[in-house]
Amino acid sequence: MDFEEFVLAASTADLRECGAARRHADLLEYRLDLAAAGLDALDSEYELPVLVTNRVEEEGGHAQAGPTRLDALSRAIEKPAVEAVDIELVTLRSGRGQHVVDRAREHGVTVVVSTHDFTGTPDRQQLRDLLDAASARGDVAKLAVTAEDVTDVLDLLSVTAEATRAGQTVATMAMGEAGRHSRVVAPLYGSRIGYAPLDRERATAPGQYDLETFRTLYESLREKT
């Protein structure tokens, strides 16, 4: 996938939800760290492309850090349903996970390099540095921060626009109630991926809209800009 345009991903631990998700989603984010079916679910064909994520605990997931988690990501890349893979920037910076990136390159799978900050929003220079570092290692730089107020959201949107003008492909969002609106606004500033569960009760990050609400709000904003 090239992510040249905005893509809405349905975050799910059950790929059988594809039928319901495709009414509003462009992509399935398969949360391997939450899934009961594991890698076996990726042996089937789906009407939507799959982004596979095996999120480590320190960044909001349930997978234990270590070689087993990364090996599962590497094996997932070989599945025909998978068109993109997510790996954390902190993992790559620690010297681990490069084999996942290399395997993705071999199979033509897009690499999303992500950072999740559940404590706050770094200053603008730090935000830009994180996007630069992720862009240097992958195809899409994903940055999710936690907003305490509207100033944090404004900083994130400004940096999103700057990175996009610089030619980077980014996916940005502010988590939490104060940043909820950023999820549907950030695409107007250049963010290329949004994430939403089918039902809000199954949110995988603070402040997520459900899939239908996200699509409705985004399309309404896009029509007015």
Euclidean distance between CA atoms 200 and 117, whole angstroms:
21
Q: Of 107, 142, 181, 224, which residue is the catalytic one? A: 142
**Contact predicate 30/41, CB 8 Å:** yes
**Contact predicate 9/199, CB 8 Å:** no
Euclidean distance between CA atoms 67 and 82, whole angstroms:
20
**Cα separation values, 127 from 101, 142, 158, 195, Å:** 23, 11, 10, 20
**Contact predicate 211/24, CB 8 Å:** yes
For residue 198, give the nearest of 187, 213, 186 by alpha carbon: 213
Euclidean distance between CA atoms 48 and 71, whole angstroms:
24
Which residues on neighbouring strands pair with residue 30, listed in sequence order? Answer: 12, 52
- Is 99 annotated in the active site? no
Q: What are phi and psi of 207, to 5 degrees?
A: 90, 10
For residue 124, give the nearest of 169, 163, 67, 182 by alpha carbon: 163
Q: Of 24, 79, 116, 224, which residue is the catalytic one? A: 116
- Is 116 annotated in the active site? yes
Euclidean distance between CA atoms 167 and 141, whole angstroms:
12
Residues recognised as catalytic: 116, 142
